[in-house]
Structure 1
Amino acid sequence: MQKKKGFATISDVAKHANVGKTSVSRYLNGEQNKLSEQMVDKIANAIKTLDYRPNHSARMLKAGQSKLIGLLLADVTNPYSIDVLQGIEDVCRQQGYMLMVCNTNNQQDLQAQYLSLLEAHRVDGLIINTAGMTPKQVTHFQTLSCPLVLVDRIDTSLGYDSVGLDNHQAVTQVCQHLLSESYDALLVITESLEVEPRQARVDAISDFCDQNTRLQHQVFEMDKMCVDSIAQAITTFTAEFPQQKKAIFTTNGVAMMSTAKALKTLNLQIRRDIGLIGIDDPEWAQLFEGGITVMRQPSKIIGQTACERLLTRIQGSQEAPQHLTLSAELIVREST
């Protein structure tokens, strides 16, 4: 079996052209005016013959930067994460950076492993969307030598730039819409409340209902998209509020999908039997029984803003941490 050929090096080019490595470096760095015409031709021919390709990473590291940005995503299967990724990637492409993406699958152990991996690759900066913020994780952040920006984790006590949704605005608009449509009983279905934005949305609903007693609410924390348990929660909720006009609010697209499946198993029709509204606007939402009313997050813009903020830090900005929140857009469909 033929042995796999390795990559040609500057030394190989210099040897083939019968010139010094310094001359090859000058050629590669655009200093060809310092070389004789004959030497330029010899080096160019050697590069072509050996199919030499400059080691971009080594050159960048020698210059004190890698032109790499690391991205830690909590769940790459979540449509929100995909949109955020696209926004970050757009900015990286425009600014000449390469993006390294790691999916933690909502596992804190994986997050620590990927952080170490990205550090080993000497990324210039990190954008982090994590499953939670334990003291151990925060301590790890503080040991990093590169700047970082948090996405969808708005905790002003951490001392880092952060970008995410204005959860209070989104939830307030949801509740006002439901009241305008005469709903007076609300079941909140959410994934684990250990994740800060979900807890913030549930807290905002509780605050709204405390000030607007006409709207009563219950909260159900689902267990790993278990449709049967959601169906049972809906059944219990409808039994407790037999006379009220009822609706369900889901805190993200994953909870919305599981809730839609549960409503199908119960043979309940949205709007006629129960309203449905949620945060996130996956493509399928507009197709489900005439469409689900949603608060559409500016997910791609959140990604772009986070990357722009990180590049500012990479360039040396020492200003105080910024906590940027963007507004969601109410998209009314048949479900409410």
Structure 2
Amino acid sequence: MKKITISDVASEANVSKSTVSQYLNNRFEYMSEETRQKIQDAIENLNYRPNIVARSLKQKSTKTVGVIVANIVHSFSTQVINELEINLHKNGFHMIVCNSNDQPEKEREHIEVLISKQVDGIIVFPTTDNIDLFEKLYKQHFPIVFIDRKIDSLPIPSVLLDNKLASKLAVDAFVEKGYQNIAFITNAIDQPITPRVERLQGFKEAMESYGLSVSKGHLNAVPVNQIQQRLNDLFNEVQPDGILVANDRVLIELLSFVKQKGIKIPSEIGIIGIDEVPFASFFDPPICTIEQPFEQIALQAATILVEKIQSQNKTYQEIYRFLPKLNDRDSY
């Protein structure tokens, strides 16, 4: 089949190539509605598809952004991805989503592939083992924004929750209802993943502010596949009356454990989870959660990235923190 070109569209619509080019680039200021309709009809009649690669080379922009999430199974990740797509699309950008699964080597591979595809910028939930690559991109003025996490040694804008406050809200809620023997559990922190480290530290500080015991047994950070066993040990050793869960994946493990053991919520164990989950409000009993303002976080990250793509002159804060919200329900 003959490849349809911009010249064919111009001929079909009986206008100049430059007029078609203006139409394709959404420059309609001096174009009549009749001309726009003729070009649109010509494009549809000829089944014309613009050469995106050629246009990006000419414009020095692909209007495409890469997003690398640490683990796409988290509710927060999928919520943020959806909001990022909405905000980037409003600004004329398409989005390519990659999942690193918290593996630095996969993260590096994704970054290299995205750059080879000439994306205009990247939003990433960073691991901690590719500092050299991120530093190189920063020095090259490549537009990049961190979300959910930060790397202290790099002045790259980072948009995330006030994680310590999230833990404090949960401890405050527990203490207000008389809980004192409260435990905390999160995924492993062999990598210093910002939310895990900060939420654990925030829990410890909040407990100490009330003069409550925080033994080694109260602070638990283990791989997801070991959470069930750790919970079994936790109930035998510490016998907590309440548990603060660091994120949605750990919450699912805890709820599964509680069901298997026949432990009643909240009469035998109180539960609060950080990160809102779709089932929280209709679980029996409804689960109290600390919700992240994912819309605000995504909007801030998208806004910064688009501005960085469009201009290198503006300076940005290193850290943007957003406030958590307690969804007070019946699980404690």
Question: Residues 276 and 8 (structure 1 numbering): CA distance in 2 closer, same or farther, change over 3 Å?
Answer: same
Give yes or no for the alignment of 1:299 onto 2:294. yes
Question: 1:176-220 CA deviation, whole Å, 9 max, x = no partner?
Answer: 111111111122111121212101111111222333222435122
**Secondary structure of 1:278's partner?**
strand
TM alignment of 1:110-189, pairs within 5 A? 110-142=106-138, 146-189=142-185
In structure 2, the residue corresponding to 1:130 is in which secondary structure? Answer: coil
Give the TM-score, by structure 2 length.
Answer: 0.84
Q: Conserved in 2, the CA contact under 8 Å of 1:253 and 1:281?
A: yes
2-structure distance, mates of 1:321, 1:44 = 44
| Contact 1:124 1:314 (C-alpha < 8 Å) held by counterparts | yes
Match of 1:28 among 21, 37, 43: 21
Distance in structure 2 (CA, Å) of the matches to 1:206 and 1:254: 21
1:51 pairs with 2:39: no
Q: d(CA) in 1 for partners of 2:279 and 2:40?
A: 55
Change (3 A) 1:48 1:273: closer
Residue 212 of structure 2 is matched in structure 1 by 214
Based on CA coordinates, which of the two structures has the bigger radius of gyration? 1
Q: CA deviation at 1:26?
A: 4.8
Question: What is the CA RMSD across the aligned residues, in angstroms?
Answer: 3.0
Please give the secondary structure, in 1, of the residue aligned with 2:280: helix
The answer (yes or no) to whether the contact 2:6–2:20 under 8 Å persists in 1 is: no
Residue 90 (str. 1) matches residue 64 (str. 2)? no
Write the distance in 1 (CA, Å) between the matches of 2:260 and 2:167: 27
- Which amino acid in the other structure matches residue 199 of structure 2? R
**Contact 1:24–1:43 (CA under 8 A) maintained in structure 2:** no
Is 1:8–2:4 an aligned residue pair? yes
2:279 is paired with a residue of what secondary structure? helix
Q: Is the 8 A contact 1:172 1:204 kept in 2?
A: yes
1-side partners of 2:40 and 2:131: how far apart?
55
1:264 aligns with 2:262: no
Q: 1:206 to 1:289 in 2, by over 3 A?
A: same
Q: Where does residue 237 of structure 1 map in the other structure?
A: 234
Q: Secondary structure at the match of 1:106?
A: coil
How many angstroms does 1:156 deviate by?
Answer: 4.3
Q: How far apart are residue 318 of structure 1 and its match?
A: 2.7
Q: CA deviation at 1:231?
A: 3.9
Give the structure-1-normalised TM-score: 0.83
Aligned match of 2:268 = 273
Q: 1:85: Cα distance to partner?
A: 0.7
* 1:84–1:301 contact (8 Å) kept in structure 2: no
Q: Report the CA distance between 1:144 and its aligned residue.
A: 5.4
Q: Secondary structure at the match of 1:187?
A: strand
Q: Deviation string for 1:250-282 (max 9, x for gaps)?
A: 111011111111111221112111111110111
**1:49-84 Cα shifts (integer Å, max 9, x gaps):** 643222244224312222111111111121110111
Residue 37 (structure 1) aligns with:
none
Alignment CA distance shift 1:80-1:47 (3 Å): closer
Q: Distance in 2 between matches of 1:84 and 1:43?
A: 37
Matching residue of 1:310: 305
Q: Mind listing any 5+ residue stretches in structure 2 that lack a counterpart?
A: 29-37
Partners of 2:212 and 2:291 in 1: CA distance: 26
Moved over 6 A (4+): 11-14, 42-46
Residues 1:333 and 2:332 are matched in the alignment: no
Which position in structure 1 is the counterpart of 2:105? 109
Evaluate the alpha carbon distance shift between residue 177 and residue 137 of structure 1 in structure 2; reply closer, same or farther with a 3 A threshold.
Answer: farther
Report if the CA contact (8 A) 2:149-2:158 is conserved: yes
8 Å contact kept, 1:231–1:266? no
Give the Cα separation in 2 of the matches to 1:47 and 1:83: 36
Amino acid at match of 1:230: I
User: What are structure 1's unaligned runs of at least 5 residues?
Assistant: 33-41
**Cα shift at 1:13:** 6.4
Q: Tell me, yes or no, if the aligned pair for 2:265 and 2:285 is still in contact at 8 Å.
A: no
Kept after mapping to 2: 8 A contact 1:102/1:114 = yes
Secondary structure of the corresponding residue to residue 155 of structure 2: coil
Residues 72 and 104, structure 1, Cα contact 8 Å, conserved in 2: yes
- How far apart, CA to CA, are the structure 2 residues paired with 1:49 and 1:231? 61
Asked if 1:248 corresponds to 2:243, the answer is yes
| Change over 3 Å in CA distance of 1:99–1:262 after alignment to 2 | same
Distance 1:192 1:238, change over 3 A: closer
